[in-house]
Amino acid sequence: MNYCRVKYDRVLPSQLGIAVKSTVLLLITFLTFKLSQILNRNSTMSSSSSPNDAVQRILSSKLYFDVPISKVPLIYSSKYDISFLGIEKLHPFDSAKWGRICGFLIKDGVLDKNGIVEPLEASKNDLLVVHSESYLNSLKYSANVAMIIEVPPVALFPNCIVQQKVLHPFRNQVGGTIVAAKLAKERGWAINVGGGFHHCCGGRGGGFCVYADITLCIHFAFVRLNVSRVMIIDLDAHQGNGHETDFANDSRVYILDMFNPGIYPLDYEARRYIDQKVEVVSGTRTHEYLQKLDEALEVAAHAFDPELIIYNAGTDILDGDPLGRLKISPDGISSRDEKVFRFARERNIPIVMLTSGGYMKSSARVIADSITNLSTKRLIDTHVTGT
């Protein structure tokens, strides 16, 4: 068949419209990619805060605040959810997932809506603890944001709208991740129903990750919580190349990353900085996955003695997830989360859980069921205890 021949007299108007829209979308994608390359290259040339500046920014931040005992250490705000004229549906990520998780927990009687902790939005000063000024400035270009979140039409919108509809929700989730460490230190555990942007590092974003919330959380903990050893347990299907880049050769941070090596981001440079790499290839099923996790946690227990655990609990390992390509059952997700929380509880280590990736509508229900399981097993307490 000769694919170069086109019989225009047989093309219906609706088909022609679709073809034109597809061509425009491809052009936008290409232009977005080229501009993003230029902006990201420039942003990596400027470093983030000096150590002294970073400490001063952390000490002056308002993101750490006192939470009354009437609240449980589960963090969420309606400001997390992204609604952008339906354009958000062009990405497979469920951008209303966070609110749906809390909705299920409240409906099931596991959580009282008045017990939820609402975080503050991370300010520019907070973000500069890790991010370079030039990287943050690059986000003033809608095309660059479009490339990072992988939704090309966003490039066509004025940046003020992109800031409000896309970046504002992400900055609120960053605030949630940062305060979660404080709550975990005080209560033993905390769950940010959002966050887990593990593809973003100080100088660049990607893979729907605009801000490096994990890196920021850890730096705040170093300064404000007197923590000197942190373990990242990253069980999202994708490699956490962002935090791996940020903590390259940093002996204070131990990274256990269990990921599918055959999918995005294929960042071989960042893989060099993983302390404990566990590869799970496409098609891995629940039993094998959980067995590998047991072995990995046993190794980690002997390799490092953390004072805080950041658990990146992506659900893109679910069977049927179009991007993760693994075959883990919903019950397997609950077992996975239970194993990690039990690992922390048995060693009396505060743990922060982030929900991270997950590209099926069922993810919200699965996460809610897993949190319910943690509560049932008394690994967390989601009930209000009084004022």
Tokens representing residue 373 in the block = 């399981």
Listed range (37-41, 114-118, 256-260, 309-313) with the worst mean pLDDT: 37-41
Average pLDDT of the segment spanning 148-170: 94
Do 316 and 282 meet the contact criterion of CB atoms below 8 Å apart?
Answer: no
Q: How confident is the model at residue 387 (pLDDT cuts 50, 70, 90)?
A: very low
Instruction: Based on the residue annotation, tell me whether 199 is a catalytic residue of this protein.
Output: yes
Quote the CA–CA distance of 220 and 59 in Å, as a whole number: 9
Q: Bridge-partner residues for 351, per DSSP?
A: 189, 309
- The predicted pLDDT at position 325 comes to 97
145 versus 82: the higher-pLDDT residue is: 145
Q: Spot the catalytic one: 198, 199, 219, 243.
A: 199
Average pLDDT of the segment spanning 101-122: 97
- The predicted pLDDT at position 51 comes to 87
Residue 236 has pLDDT above 50, yes or no: yes
Long-range contacts of 217-220 (CB under 8 A, 24+ apart): 217/177, 217/178, 217/180, 217/181, 217/310, 217/352, 218/181, 218/243, 218/247, 218/253, 218/308, 218/310, 219/54, 219/58, 219/129, 219/130, 220/58, 220/61, 220/63, 220/64, 220/129, 220/178, 220/181
Whole-structure pTM value: 0.88
167 Cβ partners below 8 Å, 6+ apart?
A: 139, 145, 210
Q: Concatenate the DSSP letters of all residues of 4-39 into one string.
A: T---GGG--HHHHHHHHHHHHHHHHHHHHHHHHHHH
- The predicted pLDDT at position 23 comes to 41
If one counts every other C-beta atom within 10 angstroms of the C-beta of residue 221, the result is 26
Do 280 and 259 meet the contact criterion of CB atoms below 8 Å apart?
Answer: yes
- The predicted pLDDT at position 6 comes to 32
- The predicted pLDDT at position 21 comes to 46
Q: How confident is the model at residue 383 (pLDDT cuts 50, 70, 90)?
A: confident
pLDDT tens, residue by residue, 321-335: 999 999 999 999 999
Quote the CA–CA distance of 199 and 213 in Å, as a whole number: 10
- The predicted pLDDT at position 41 comes to 44
Q: Please give the domain boundaries of the chain with CATH numbers for all domains.
A: 93-377 (3.40.800.20)
Residue 289 has pLDDT above 70, yes or no: yes
- The predicted pLDDT at position 83 comes to 80
Do 353 and 191 meet the contact criterion of CB atoms below 8 Å apart?
Answer: yes
Helix (H) or strand (E) holding 310, with range, is: strand 308-312
pLDDT tens, residue by residue, 7-59: 333 334 444 443 444 444 445 544 544 454 444 444 443 456 788 999 999 99
Q: What is the largest CA-CA distance in the chain?
A: 74
Residue 1 has pLDDT above 90, yes or no: no
pLDDT tens, residue by residue, 176-218: 999 999 999 999 999 999 999 999 999 999 999 999 999 999 9
